[in-house]
C-alpha cells in the first residue's frame, strides 16, 4: 500500500483502520480479546499503518485493546485517539474539553495505549462551553511537551477549523464522508484544501450499507448503533438500494467489490483524504486495503458522483441528539 500525508508531515497508509467496532457499536463481540489482537496485528500485513480509537469507545476498552495489539510494532504504526467527553461510571455524560480534562485524558490514553506519545489527538466533538482557542492551545502545549505529535478535530464546522488552526496547526479533520454522506463538501473540504489540512473520513462504507451486506430485511441486534439511526430504518434502506445496486454492477465490471469501489471513489477525491473503514475481520481489512489498486475512470467517477447526487439519500445519518453535536 502507498502512503499519504495528512497536514504538515503525518505520513500514514492510504487506508487506515477504524477500531471502534472491535469494542462496541455493532452488536455482540464476535470473538475473544486474543482474536481481536490478532486481527489488529494482521492489518500490518496488508500495509495498514494508521489506527483510530478513542477513550470513549468502551469506554477505555478499545484503547486498551489497541495498546496491547500494537505495542510490539509501535514504531511501525500511527495511532490516533480522541478526547472531549465527560465519562462517569463507565458512561459518557456529556462534553468536556476543558484544558485540565484534555490533560487528564492524554495521560490516561498514553497509559492505555502503552506508548509515550499520541501521534494524532483529536477533539472528538466541539464543546461550545470551551473556546476552541483554549482547546488548540492546550493540545499545542502537549505537543511541545512531547506527549502528542499532531492535533485534530472531529465533525467540526469550517469556522471552528479556521479558529483552531490559527491558534495551533490542525493536521487532520475527521468527519463522516462517503458516497451517501456528502455533508463536508460545501464548506469543510474547501477549507481543508485551503489550509493544507488532511481529511479522515469515518464510516466511509456507510456503516456497512455501501458494501451490499445490509439488506432491506436485515435486523439489528442489541448494541448495534444502526438500530437508532434513521437512515437504517427499513423504508429508508429500501429507498437507498439503487446506489448499492449501481456499486455492485460497477464492481463486477472491475472485478472488485462494492466496498472497494466506494473506497476508491473516496481516494480519488483528493490525495489528502485517508478513509478509515472499520471491521473486525482480517479478510475485510485485506479487501479494504486493496481498494488502493482499483482504478476508476473519469467516467466512472462522474457516474458515481452524479448518481449519488441525483438519487439523494433517505434518512438522517444520526438521530436528533447526535446530529446536534456535529458541525459546530
Residue 268 makes CB contacts below 8 A (sequence gap 6+) with 296, 301
In this structure, are residues 95 and 84 in contact, taking their beta carbons and an 8 Å threshold?
yes
How far is the C-alpha of 277 from the C-alpha of 288, rounded, in Å?
7
Which pairing describes strands 170-176 and 198-202: parallel, antiparallel, or unpaired?
Answer: parallel
Q: What cell does 61 get?
A: 476498552
Whether the bond into 306 is cis, omega within 30 of 0: no
Annotated catalytic residues are 57
End-to-end CA distance of the chain: 35
Q: What would you measure as the largest C-alpha separation in the chain, in angstroms?
A: 54
Q: Which residues pair with 85 in a beta bridge?
A: 95
User: Which residue in this structure is represented by grid cell 445490509?
Assistant: 214
How far is the C-alpha of 306 from the C-alpha of 22, rounded, in Å?
34
Q: What does the CA dihedral 145, 59, 208, 317 come to, rounded to 10 degrees?
A: -90
Return left, alpha or beta for 281; rule: phi > 0 is left, psi -120 to 50 is alpha, else beta: beta
How far is the C-alpha of 121 from the C-alpha of 81, rounded, in Å?
5
CB atoms under 10 Å from CB of 88, counted, come to: 10
Question: In terms of C-beta density within 10 A (0-12 exposed, 13-18 middle, 19 or more buried), how is residue 259 classed?
Answer: buried
In this structure, are residues 212 and 258 in contact, taking their beta carbons and an 8 Å threshold?
yes
Amino acid at each position: 500500500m502507498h502512503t499519504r500525508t495528512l497536514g504538515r508531515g503525518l505520513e500514514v497508509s492510504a487506508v487506515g483502520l477504524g477500531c471502534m467496532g472491535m469494542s462496541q457499536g455493532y452488536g455482540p463481540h464476535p470473538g475473544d480479546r486474543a482474536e481481536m489482537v490478532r486481527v489488529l496485528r494482521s492489518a500490518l500485513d496488508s500495509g495498514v499503518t494508521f489506527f483510530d480509537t478513542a477513550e470513549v469507545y468502551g469506554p477505555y476498552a478499545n484503547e486498551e485493546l489497541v495498546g496491547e495489539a500494537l505495542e510490539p510494532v509501535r514504531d511501525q504504526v500511527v495511532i490516533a485517539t480522541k478526547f472531549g467527553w465527560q465519562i462517569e461510571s463507565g458512561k459518557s455524560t456529556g462534553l468536556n474539553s476543558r484544558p485540565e480534562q484534555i490533560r487528564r485524558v492524554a495521560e490516561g490514553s498514553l497509559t492505555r495505549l502503552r506508548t509515550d506519545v499520541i501521534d494524532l489527538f483529536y477533539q472528538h466533538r466541539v464543546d461550545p462551553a470551551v473556546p476552541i482557542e483554549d482547546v488548540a492551545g492546550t493540545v499545542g502545549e502537549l505537543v511541545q511537551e512531547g506527549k502528542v505529535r499532531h492535533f485534530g478535530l472531529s465533525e467540526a464546522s469550517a469556522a471552528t477549523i479556521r479558529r483552531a488552526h490559527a491558534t495551533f496547526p490542525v493536521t487532520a479533520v475527521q468527519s463522516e464522508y462517503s458516497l451517501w454522506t456528502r455533508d463536508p463538501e460545501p464548506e469543510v473540504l474547501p477549507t481543508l484544501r485551503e489550509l493544507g489540512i488532511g481529511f479522515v473520513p469515518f464510516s466511509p462504507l456507510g456503516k456497512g450499507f455501501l458494501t451490499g451486506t445490509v439488506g432491506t430485511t436485515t435486523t439489528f441486534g442489541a448494541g448495534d448503533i444502526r438500530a437508532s439511526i434513521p437512515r437504517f430504518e427499513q423504508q429508508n434502506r429500501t429507498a437507498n438500494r439503487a446506489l448499492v445496486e449501481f456499486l455492485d454492477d460497477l464492481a463486477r465490471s472491475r472485478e472488485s467489490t462494492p466496498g472497494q469501489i466506494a473506497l476508491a471513489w473516496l481516494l480519488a477525491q483528493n490525495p489528502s483524504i485517508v478513509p478509515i473503514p472499520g471491521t473486525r475481520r482480517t479478510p475485510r481489512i485485506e479487501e479494504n486495503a486493496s481498494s488502493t489498486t482499483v482504478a476508476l475512470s473519469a467516467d466512472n467517477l462522474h457516474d458515481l458522483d452524479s448518481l449519488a447526487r441525483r438519487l439523494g439519500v433517505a434518512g438522517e445519518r444520526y438521530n436528533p441528539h447526535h446530529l446536534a453535536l456535529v458541525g459546530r
